[in-house]
Amino acid sequence: MNPKTNGYDSGVTRTESGARRTYNQYCGLASALDVLGERWTLLIIRELLMGPRRYSSLLADLPGVGTNLLAERLKSMTERGLVRQVQSDSGARMSYALTEVGQELRPMVLGLAKWGMEFVGPYSPGEVVRPHWGFLAVEAMFQPDKVPDRDEQYQFEVDDQVFHVDVRDGRAHAMKGPADAPAMIATVDAATFIEIGTGRKTPLAAMVTGKLKLDGDIEAVLRCCDLIGLETGALRSHATAG
């Protein structure tokens, strides 16, 4: 059985009313959209790219989805072979995790996230933002041709969550949790972090306004900024003047 159909009719999903919906086109893109095109599906994928999540955790980080719709999406994604249920660490409740087929979406979701940065407007206090989204934002922003030629780690403390970038053997990896020996530590709130990623605010401007704190070797800071594609001209000038 093909894990991408998982016994389900090819090119078909269900609407909120339970009726099946399809583009009815014999095309890979149309079939992908039959699976992923429903509202909230890709955002559920985004959440699960961070690792297994309990239902209540998904519901809390996807405000507006509604419990019935979330249950329907997870059911459909499970039937499609994108998601499976796994035992949580405590063993008391089940969590949802991506299957190997679901994990194949990682580069595509990161690519969409990077592309979408061009369309993110000014932050409004009414908009929802979560610190763990910064983890995927950093990974999406990696510039393969800007990976430093030395092994080092950059730590990000975004609100109440910590993750880091590990540069090793010419490759960069975004990883959950603190670094062993960070060459740079960035402390920032989630909204400012996204603003910096979109280019609406430079790292130097965020530092001047107290929204961003950078600790560590300035050269490591600049290498990190280059790696994730941030503007460093003013920061380099500031460092030189200092």
Query: What three-state secondary structure class fits 15?
Result: coil
Q: What is the CATH T-level fold of the domain 13-104, as seen in this structure?
A: Arc Repressor Mutant, subunit A (1.10.10)
Query: Are the C-beta atoms of residues 136 and 194 closer than 8 Å to each other?
Result: no
Q: What is the pTM of this model?
A: 0.85
Query: Are the C-beta atoms of residues 76 and 8 closer than 8 Å to each other?
Result: no
Tell me the residue length of the chain: 242
Q: What is the pLDDT of residue 233?
A: 76
Q: What is the pLDDT of residue 134?
A: 86
Q: What is the pLDDT of residue 88?
A: 72
Q: What is the pLDDT of residue 93?
A: 81
* Interstrand relation of 94-98 and 20-21 (parallel, antiparallel or unpaired): unpaired
Q: What is the pLDDT of residue 232?
A: 78
Query: What is the CATH code of the structural domain delimited by 133-241?
Result: 3.30.1050.10
Q: What is the pLDDT of residue 15?
A: 46
**For the chain, domain boundaries:** 13-104, 133-241
Q: What is the mean pLDDT of each run of 10 residues along the chain (242 residues)?
A: 51 47 92 94 96 95 96 96 87 89 97 93 90 91 95 97 97 96 97 92 93 95 94 73 62
